[in-house]
Amino acid sequence: MSNSTKTIFVTGGTGFLGSYLIRYLLKKNEGTIRALKRATSSMDLLQDVHKQIDWVEGDVLDIPLLEDALEGVDEIYHCAAVVSFDPREIKNMMDINVTGTANIVNIALTKNIRKFAHVSSIAAIGRAEGKADVSEKTKWQTSKFNSNYAISKYQAEQEVWRGEAEGLNIAIVNPSVIIGSGFWKKGTARFWRQVYNGLLFYPKGASGFVDVRDVAKYMIQLMDSDIKGERFLLNGDNLTFQNFFNMLAQHLGKSKPKIKVSTLIGESAWRVEKFRAMLTGSSPLITKETARNSSQTYIYDNRKSLDALDFKYTPINHTIEETSVQFLEAAKNGMVPKSLPLV
């Protein structure tokens, strides 16, 4: 099928990852792009290209709308998800992440879709205390370190595997912490604001980090390949949180965080923050889940992703440097959302 004749459906297209994915699809002239968005979705990350997209207004819980939207679609990139560690968001997160994914899978099974690419997460692989090394072979197990978000992404991924068992051609990516320019007031781009405003504390744990552009590019290569029925852990570098925040501070010209958050401080902090949020009605900046997970060290193995495709990850220090330059520009401009240049 030639690029100019296929129709591609993207969920979560106005979000952080989805906006980069759409930009790469447009750059490759990958055919007609049809994308799902809410009526309230911000178009800030696609302001210059949004008219090139066939937008469908609604969400993944609207089954009749999805049935119409997926008519004539050849490929699906399912990026839509709620990422939250706020206990008040659990029901909405489960609805969107799990039920919404089941809806997309069920309808895709009836529409002769060529391939379904699902954005999962390292959180869906599972986390357990004392087991630092994580790969695609790591088995999910019940653990206090599995956040409600992790559970929702694990259950969503099971819906995709169910779809495969019923005949859907699928591929799954499990990105680590996705970073890059985006909405400075939410998601991982908030890290730049925190350091810029003077971050004193750093968690004692470690995690994997990956450039948002790498995730988008890998998904497209995976879609265009003959690979099916596989999952791929996408990770650029493994870093301690101290090193990560030190890099941000260096590129922003700010002081490095100096105080390590011990287990005792972390356990106290989320309780204080919960009380503050209850009094003010705002979202907590630290939750029990984020406090406990950030105290753990996990090392993510990207070898399968590198072996499967001709691919090279962007060094995370380079991503941090590029993002920092754009953040400093945005700081002078009312924090206007930014997108990194495509490479």
Q: Which of 38, 23, 22 is nearest to 77 (CA)?
A: 22
Q: Phi, psi (5° rounding) for residue 111?
A: -115, 10
In which band, very low, low, confident or very high, does the pLDDT at 270 lie, cut at 50, 70 and 90? very low
Instruction: Give the DSSP letter of residue 5.
Output: T
Is the pLDDT at 289 greater than 80? The verdict is no
Is the pLDDT at 272 greater than 90? The verdict is no
Q: What is the mean pLDDT of residues 39-67?
A: 94
Q: What is the mean pLDDT of residues 112-133?
A: 87
Is the pLDDT at 97 greater than 50? The verdict is yes
In which band, very low, low, confident or very high, does the pLDDT at 233 lie, cut at 50, 70 and 90? very high
Q: Phi, psi (5° rounding) for residue 54?
A: -85, 100
Q: Would 171 be classed as within a structural domain?
A: yes
Q: Would 14 be classed as within a structural domain?
A: yes
Q: Would 122 be classed as within a structural domain?
A: yes
Q: Would 200 be classed as within a structural domain?
A: no
Q: Which of 32, 27, 29, 34 is nearest to 13 (CA)?
A: 34
How does DSSP assign 248-307, residue by residue? HHHHHT-PPP-EEE-HHHHHHHHHHHHHHHHHH-PPPSS-HHHHHHTTSB-EE--HHHHH
- pLDDT (tens digit, 9 = 90+) per residue, 9-43? 999 999 999 999 999 999 998 889 999 999 999 99
pTM summary value: 0.91
What's the CA dihedral at 153, 93, 193, 288 to 10 degrees? -80
Predicted pLDDT of residue 265? 41
Q: Would 136 be classed as within a structural domain?
A: yes
Q: How many residues does the chain have?
A: 343
With 0-12 CB in 10 A as exposed, 13-18 as middle and 19+ as buried, what is 226?
A: exposed
Q: How many CB atoms lie within 10 A of CB 64?
A: 9
CA dist 255 and 233 (Å) reads 33
Q: Would 152 be classed as within a structural domain?
A: yes
Predicted pLDDT of residue 183? 95
CATH number of the domain that 26 lies in? 3.40.50.720
- pLDDT (tens digit, 9 = 90+) per residue, 314-338? 999 999 999 999 999 999 999 999 9
Q: Would 146 be classed as within a structural domain?
A: yes
Is the pLDDT at 150 greater than 80? The verdict is yes
CA dist 161 and 171 (Å) reads 9
> In which domain, by residue range, is 51 found?
7-182+207-238+300-314
Count of the separate structural domains present in the chain: 1
Q: Would 170 be classed as within a structural domain?
A: yes
